[in-house]
Structures are given as structure tokens and as C-alpha cells.
Structure 1
Amino acid sequence: MEKIKVRDSVGATLIHDMTQIIPGVVKGPRFRKGHVIREEDIPVLLSMGKEHIYVWDQKPDLIHENEAAERLAQAVAGSGLILDEPKEGKITLTAAYDGLLYSSEEGILALNTLEGVILSTRHNHYPVKKHDKIAGTRVVPLMIEEKIILEAEETAKAFSSPILEVRPLKPFKVGLIITGSEVFHGRIKDKFGPVLRSKVENWGSTILDLKFSNDDVTMIQNSIHDQLALGAEMILVSGGMSVDPDDVTPTAIKEIGAELVTYGAPVLPGAMFLLAYIGNVPIMGLPGCVMYAKTTAFDLIAPRILTGERLTRRDIVKLGSGGLCLECPVCTYPHCAFGK
């Protein structure tokens, strides 16, 4: 790069975006890369505090910040992401559709340890909507050695999955079983079903069938078999999840021959959550808090299953870091620390 005085720069071509900041009015690129300086631009540049500008002095081992940011974005982007145009040396990645963000914490760390490389993202497993901002890439210097970007590209390739991707939630046919003698015998009105129906439909799935069961192991197991026979791709069994002797839902699920992943999750609310599989069909035992708490372990775990991910006990255990809901008077999830 060659440094020249702004007053002598008419006809020169900018090699980077130049930001103008007027407090309370504007903050953004006033002149874009490639702009040819005109006489009328000189007062504007001086008002921006620019006494000098830099003109292109290409060297074979250096690349411009815009190209570097774009190559970084392309290296980390998997499915479900859209790259915008370079802006002030940055590339923003946005969601192509609604879904769940999957990000490699190890990959993000590996890239950011490279000198001059920046990758900033949302948290792993963040629920996103179409057009939501997901991540940004840039480099610190205006010009960066190409070998660093090549190393970044090779680093990204070393991971078996993309550093960043948005996975859509698949539409599941969900079988719903409401347990509890008080509901089964009609002594109280079921309030669990409407809550679960709303959540399931909000995730793009449908309730295949709704059954009520007494607090009886055999009856619960028969209800599970009925849901499987109907073609349920996911089964939710609500209630009866505590250590009370009358709460037999965990026993019914465990003794039906299901592969138990976990009974208990380090998440509050939702500690008595259960996850098991019969073949490829996930069965979730839902504690009472799911009925009245806005966000619980169920909201952290179910969307991941709906992307097609098969969860392990380790996946559930890792939720302990960030698994404490602050139970704010007005729930703002996912725009909070819960599940992060």
C-alpha cells in the first residue's frame, strides 16, 4: 500500500470501505472499496478525520480484507447459511430458513487462534428464524498474508462436519400420552395436552394421537405400543415423573424394553426429564414443570431431536453449563443465557 495525502488523492481508488460516524445520526460506510476519489469528496474525508488514504500496492503474498473475509465465510459455512456482500471488510452469514444452529466450538476456537482471523457466532444449538444473523467473519489487518487464510481453510476442512450450519426441524408425527389418575378419571381438566400441542405444532410437527392413562405401568405401556402401531415417530409421556411411589411413568418406559439414555437432566426447570429410544423412535418422559414453566429441559432437547440428531447421555449432561433458567417475569428465550 502507498500512503498519500487526501488533498492530493483526486483520481485515486480506495482499497477499503471508509466508515463515517456521526453520533446519533449515522455509522456506516461513507465510501466503498473501489470508489474513485473526486474533488467534492475531499471535504467529506477531512471531516471524517482522514488526512491520508492508502492506494493499492499489490503484493503476491497478500490479499485484501474483503477477499479474506469472504474466503473465511465460505470455509466455515455449511447448509442453511447465506453469505452477504463484503461490508467494511466483514462478511455476515444469515439463516436461509428456520431451524437450529449447529456450530463447532472446537472449530471456532481453532480458527480464532490464527493470527488476524476473526469468526464470531451465536451459541451452539441456538433456535433461529430465516434471515437471522448467525455469524460474522473478518480479518484484523487491511491486508493479510494469504498463507494464513489458506491455513484457515485447511483447518475448517479438518473437521468432519461444517463449522457452522443451520439444520431445519423435520415434521414428526408425535404420539402424546397424558398420565395421572386425576385426569384419567375426569376429576380435573387436562392442562398438559394443550401446552404440548402448542409446542409441537410451533416446531412444525403434528399430534398423531392423544391418549390418557391411569397411573398403571401396564396401561402406560399399552398406550406406548398403540402409538407405535399408529406410526408415531416421537412419543411424549407427560406426568408421573417424580420419585413418588405413585409416579410410575419412568418404570413403564424402562421396563417396556426401551434403550434408556437418561432419567434426569442437569437443567432447572426439567431435572426429572427422561429420554429413551425404542428403535429409532424417541420417547420423552416430561415432568410437571413442562406444563407451567415457559421454558424447560424439554425446549432444549426436543428441537435437537427434531433435526434428526440422536442424543446421548453426554449430550444431556453437557446442558448443565447454562442449564439454569432465571425464571424471568417475562420469558425472552432464546435471547437469554438459558441453554447456552
Structure 2
Amino acid sequence: MIFGPTPLDEARGAVLAHTVRLPGKVLKKGTVLDEAALAALKEAGRREVIAARLEAGDVPEDEAADRIANALMAPLLARSRASTGRVNLFAESAGLFSVDASLIDRLNQVDESVTVATLPDRSVVGAKEMLATIKIIPFAVPGAVLSVVEAMLRGRPALAVRPFRPLSVGLVLTELPGVKESVMEGAVEATSARVEALLGTMLPVERVRHEEAAVADALTRLRKAGAQLLLIAGASAVVDRRDVGPAAIVRAGGAIEHFGMPVDPGNLICLGRLGDVPAMVLPGCARSPKLNGFDWVLQRLFAGERVTAKHIMGMGVGGLLKEIEARPLPRAEAPRTPVSPIAPRRARQVCALVLAAGRSRRMAPLNKLLVPDNKGVPIIARVVDNVLASRARPVIVVTGHERERVEEALAGRAVLLAHADDYAEGLSASLKAGLRAVPPEAEGVMICLGDMPLVSGEMLDRLIAAFDPEEGRAIVQPTYRGKQGNPMLWAREFLSEMLSISGDIGARHLAAKHADRLVEVEMANDAVLRDFDTTDALKALPEYAGKR
């Protein structure tokens, strides 16, 4: 192809490279110049145009795009007509789109004149959704190039749509004492939505005790009822291939093919079979409608694919589906792991309560919260400054004993104040006063103690980063070498229970009741274990040495 300024006397049959506006007439880019177009240009005083002239063997852009599109066609694919060197390919049915990435890569490397762009491999597509576009870059393709591309595509399908099958799905929902009904309903709702989106139908849900025998019996009943896919949503997350859910599959006559997957969220998934019926124990994140590893497996099963351990182990690249600052760390490794300074793209809205209402009886006559360090900064001010350095907002300080002095110590800081008139009744009174001040938009509340000045804003942000009620991380507690500490972060769903507490206790005991919703975050030092409620404890801090 010859490209560049072309005298009008040589331009007949050439392709106009740029739109030309003439008096009363517009010649658009891509126009093949005929006698009428050339006459109009001459009449306007033009002597030459920028154009492309095809040489022997060159194939015009629309014909080239048309031929490549024909070579890419496969069942359940449709195409547009060629225009401006482009053809688009579409799905004729809802299903799972697959692409031979290596073949498309090689095709795009043949020559710069030919390009094919597609959706990512394993994309879920709807009917009429565009899958790929073929675009010829110049106005023509050398015939030899086009022949190579066609030969590469001959007999080897590069694109495919595997339609979703209308499977009947059986769900076993296991129950444990203390698990809220809303959690159970959420698991059913999320699973039903996934199944229906893939054109499947749900059989009546089996709700049974979280016991191996009960789950095995439920699987057998669902299989007899015609289930083509069996799912187990456990009241407690599966942690081993011998746990209740997997053991129930084996007890019912099935086998476990793989436990775990390199996709997060979705790590704790268990894949098995009962005869020719796939059976899965779902990860805790399947209660959430957000994309997770379970979706990837479910989509392939509905598309008629046999999912094996090898398939699951090959999902790691691209398997980090959620970006958060720091995940709960192995206890043995966390002390050696630096805290990342990188903020997440999206964090849950968490407010902080700083409990500062106590009477400080163990340090009487001093109020421990008001003891200044060597720089004159009271403990409560250091605690609040650390909380303000985190992403928690708003920060609510609960006052009680020596209210005026505490408020004076916090003057100028961006905090809200909540006074506990009945603070003398114990810790629960202070807690409830703060909880009543939590704004309605807060998804969680972090309960900070006013006598723990070593807990940094970075530590608090690690707790916030791990917090995700929809994925089962509704209570977050810091640990150091396995020992549980403070502060604790609670999802809004627990506020009503916390407001019913009475006496000189906090909410910590509720964590045992909701252990399936608790996640521990290992910290790099023991700050989360250290409160300072006696003069002896205070002496251990260099900045408070000599204080009484």
C-alpha cells in the first residue's frame, strides 16, 4: 500500500485518508475516490489529497476484517457487517466465554495491520453481548499477511461460548446455636441469586444440625429429589477436608477432590462429588453477593465443564479479587511482618469509641487518664491522638468521672463527646452511652480503652482492613503471639446485644458466642495487650518514669 500526498490525476480508486470539507460537500475519511469525488476536489481548487493506494495483492480493510471474522466464527457466535475495517462478534446465548489467549496473542503478532481484541477468558456473558472486535488498522492488508492469519485460525476454534445449563441445585444449610437467623437467610438469598443468574433453579433448602450424619442424610435426600449440583453452606467455616461438610460428602458415598483454592476471597472452598453430581462446601464469603472464588467454580459447572483440582489450582493468577491493606496474618510470621503504609481503595465505614469514663480506682487518688507524660501530654490525649491517626471516623469519647478535666485534656481535638451519667454503675454503662451516639451510617464500631496509649493508628487501620461482615469477618480482635488483646471491632449487627449488657463488664464475652464471625489479626508487638491502670505499670514506660 502506498500512502501519502497523491496528485488528483493519480488518485482515482485511492482511499481518502482524512475527511475533506468542500463547499456544499463533505468527502469522509475512507471514501474511495471516483470521478465525481475527484471532480469536486478539482472544482474546489485542490491539486492533491492524502490518500492510500492499494498495490497488487492488497486486500481492502472491510474485506480483510470480513474474512478474519468468518475464520473466528463458532457455534453461538454472531457477527456484524464489516465497516471501516471493523467487525464485532457477539454471543447468541448467555454462557461462559472462553478464548484461546495464546492463539489470539500470536495472531496479533503476525502484522501490525491486523488486531483482534476480546473479553477476558472465562467471562460471563449475556445474549447479544459483544465478545470481540476485529479491527484492520490501515486501509488494506497485504494478501500474504491475511493468508497467514486465516491459516492460523483454520481448524482451531479461538473463541467459544458455552451456554449455561438450567441445573437443579440442592442447598444444605447447617445450623449452630447462637447463629442469627439473618445470617442463615443471607446465605440462602446470596446462593439463590447466583444460581438464578446462571439460569438454574433451587430445590427446597435443607436446614439441618451442623453434624456429619445430618448433613449426609440431607445430601442423600436432595440427590433423590433430582439435584444436579449439591452445595453445603456451613454455620461454621470449613477448615479441613475432614471437617463436618467434607466428611458428610464422604459419608453419603461421595469423595473429596480438592480442598482450598488460590483465590481470595474464596480460599476455604471444598470440591467433591457424589457419583456424577458435583458437591461443594462453600467458603464463608459465599454469604456475600460480591465476586469470590465460589463464583468461578459455579460458572464453570453451569457451563457444563468438569472442574478438577488442577483447574482450581490454576486460578491463582488474577485470583486476588479484593484489595485490602493487610489480611489476618499467621501468628508466627506477623511479628516479622512490617505494617503496610498503603491505604486500601475502599474501607468499611468504622467509627471509634474511646472509653474514658472510669473512676481509676486502682490508681487513686490519681485519674490514670490524666497523668501527663514527660512532654505534658495526658494518657487520654495520647490515646485519642492515635485513634485520630487511623481511618476510624467519627471518634467518640465517652466521659464520666471528672468529665470536665477529661474534656479539657482533649480540647481542640476533632472528637465527639458522649457523657455517661451512670458511669459509676460500671463499664457497661460507659459502653452503652457511646453506642447510643454511633451514627446510623457506621458499619462497625471499634471500642478503644482510654488507658492503652501504645496502640498506634496503623494497628487500628489493620483491624479496619480485616473487617468485612459480608465475608464473615464481623468481629475483629488483635492478638500478639496468640494472646487476645484490645481494641475490638464489632459489626453494627451486634449493637442490640451490646446495649443489653449490664454491670461492670464490656462486650468481649459476646465474641465466644459468635466465634464463627470472629477473625484475629496478629500484631507485631504487644501494644494491644498493655493497659496502664496502676502506677507500677506506668513506671514501665520511659516517658512516664517518675510519675506518681
Q: TM-score, normalised by structure 1?
A: 0.79
The answer for the alignment partner of 2:150 in structure 1 is: 153
The answer for the alignment partner of 1:294 in structure 2 is: 290
- 1:46–1:121 CA distance, 2 compared to 1 (3 A): farther
The answer for the alignment partner of 1:310 in structure 2 is: 306
Contact 1:5 1:53 in 2 (8 A): yes
Contact 1:271 1:297 in 2 (8 A): yes
Q: CA offsets, 1:224-283, max 9 Å, x none?
A: 111111111111111144328995112222443324331101111110111222232111
Q: Distance in 2 between matches of 1:20 and 1:98?
A: 40
- 1:124–1:187 CA distance, 2 compared to 1 (3 A): closer
The answer for the alignment partner of 1:324 in structure 2 is: 320
Contact 1:99 1:129 in 2 (8 A): yes
Alignment RMSD (CA, Å): 3.5
Q: Distance in 2 between matches of 1:110 and 1:3?
A: 27
The answer for the alignment partner of 1:51 in structure 2 is: 49
Choose which of 128, 131, 138 in structure 2 pairs with 1:131: 128
Contact 2:52 2:139 in 1 (8 A): no
Moved more, 176-185 or 67-76: 176-185
Contact 2:108 2:115 in 1 (8 A): yes
How far has the Cα of 1:300 moved from its partner?
1.5
- 1:53–1:243 CA distance, 2 compared to 1 (3 A): closer
Choose which of 274, 277, 301 in structure 2 pairs with 1:278: 274
Q: Distance in 2 between matches of 1:269 and 1:130?
A: 28
- 1:102–1:326 CA distance, 2 compared to 1 (3 A): same
Q: Distance in 1 between matches of 2:180 and 2:49?
A: 82
Q: Distance in 2 between matches of 1:244 and 1:46?
A: 83
Contact 1:215 1:246 in 2 (8 A): no
The count of residues paired between Structure 1 and Structure 2 equals: 316
- 1:265–1:106 CA distance, 2 compared to 1 (3 A): same
Higher RCO (C-alpha under 8 Å, 6+ residues apart): 1
- 1:8–1:153 CA distance, 2 compared to 1 (3 A): closer
Name the aligned partner's letter for residue 142 of structure 1.
Answer: F
Q: CA offsets, 1:139-172, max 9 Å, x none?
A: 444333323322222222353xx21122221111
Contact 1:224 1:235 in 2 (8 A): yes
The answer for the alignment partner of 2:230 in structure 1 is: 235
Q: Distance in 1 between matches of 2:40 and 2:207?
A: 74
- 1:294–1:135 CA distance, 2 compared to 1 (3 A): same
Contact 1:211 1:223 in 2 (8 A): yes
Moved more, 123-132 or 241-250: 241-250
How far has the Cα of 1:20 moved from its partner?
5.2
Contact 1:241 1:247 in 2 (8 A): no
- 1:38–1:211 CA distance, 2 compared to 1 (3 A): same
Contact 1:14 1:32 in 2 (8 A): no
- 1:92–1:282 CA distance, 2 compared to 1 (3 A): same
The answer for the alignment partner of 1:223 in structure 2 is: 218
The answer for the alignment partner of 1:119 in structure 2 is: 116
The answer for the alignment partner of 1:194 in structure 2 is: 189
Is 1:164–2:159 an aligned residue pair? yes
Contact 2:240 2:259 in 1 (8 A): no
Q: CA offsets, 1:79-102, max 9 Å, x none?
A: 222221223212222222322211
The answer for the alignment partner of 1:337 in structure 2 is: none
Q: Distance in 2 between matches of 1:218 and 1:7?
A: 88
How far has the Cα of 1:312 moved from its partner?
1.7
Q: Distance in 1 between matches of 2:195 and 2:37?
A: 59
Name the aligned partner's letter for residue 94 of structure 1.
Answer: F
Choose which of 180, 197, 202 in structure 1 pairs with 2:175: 180
Q: Distance in 2 between matches of 1:91 and 1:245?
A: 49
Q: Distance in 1 between matches of 2:95 and 2:8?
A: 52
The structure with more radius of gyration: 2
Moved more, 163-172 or 246-255: 246-255
Is 1:38–2:37 an aligned residue pair? yes
Tell me the secondary structure at the aligned position of residue 147 of structure 1. Answer: helix
- 1:325–1:6 CA distance, 2 compared to 1 (3 A): same
Q: Distance in 2 between matches of 1:314 and 1:245?
A: 17
Contact 2:8 2:38 in 1 (8 A): no
How far has the Cα of 1:305 moved from its partner?
0.9
- 1:89–1:273 CA distance, 2 compared to 1 (3 A): same
Q: Distance in 2 between matches of 1:245 and 1:106?
A: 35
**Structure 2 unaligned blocks of 5 or more:** 21-26, 324-344, 348-548
Tell me the secondary structure at the aligned position of residue 182 of structure 1. Answer: coil
Is 1:143–2:140 an aligned residue pair? yes
Counterparts of residues 65-80 of structure 1 (less than 5 Å): 65-80=61-76
Moved more, 254-263 or 90-99: 254-263
Q: Distance in 1 between matches of 2:142 and 2:104?
A: 20
Tell me the secondary structure at the aligned position of residue 237 of structure 1. Answer: strand
The answer for the alignment partner of 1:334 in structure 2 is: none
The answer for the alignment partner of 1:205 in structure 2 is: 200
Contact 1:11 1:38 in 2 (8 A): no
Contact 2:192 2:202 in 1 (8 A): yes
Tell me the secondary structure at the aligned position of residue 320 of structure 1. Answer: coil
Q: Distance in 2 between matches of 1:244 and 1:84?
A: 51
Q: CA offsets, 1:31-90, max 9 Å, x none?
A: 4554645369649x999xx83323555x2x332222222222221232222221223212
Q: CA offsets, 1:119-158, max 9 Å, x none?
A: 2111101112233322122344433332332222222235
Moved more, 313-322 or 77-86: 77-86
- 1:190–1:56 CA distance, 2 compared to 1 (3 A): closer
Tell me the secondary structure at the aligned position of residue 222 of structure 2. Answer: helix
- 1:166–1:46 CA distance, 2 compared to 1 (3 A): farther
- 1:278–1:151 CA distance, 2 compared to 1 (3 A): farther
Q: TM-score, normalised by structure 2?
A: 0.51
How far has the Cα of 1:14 moved from its partner?
5.0
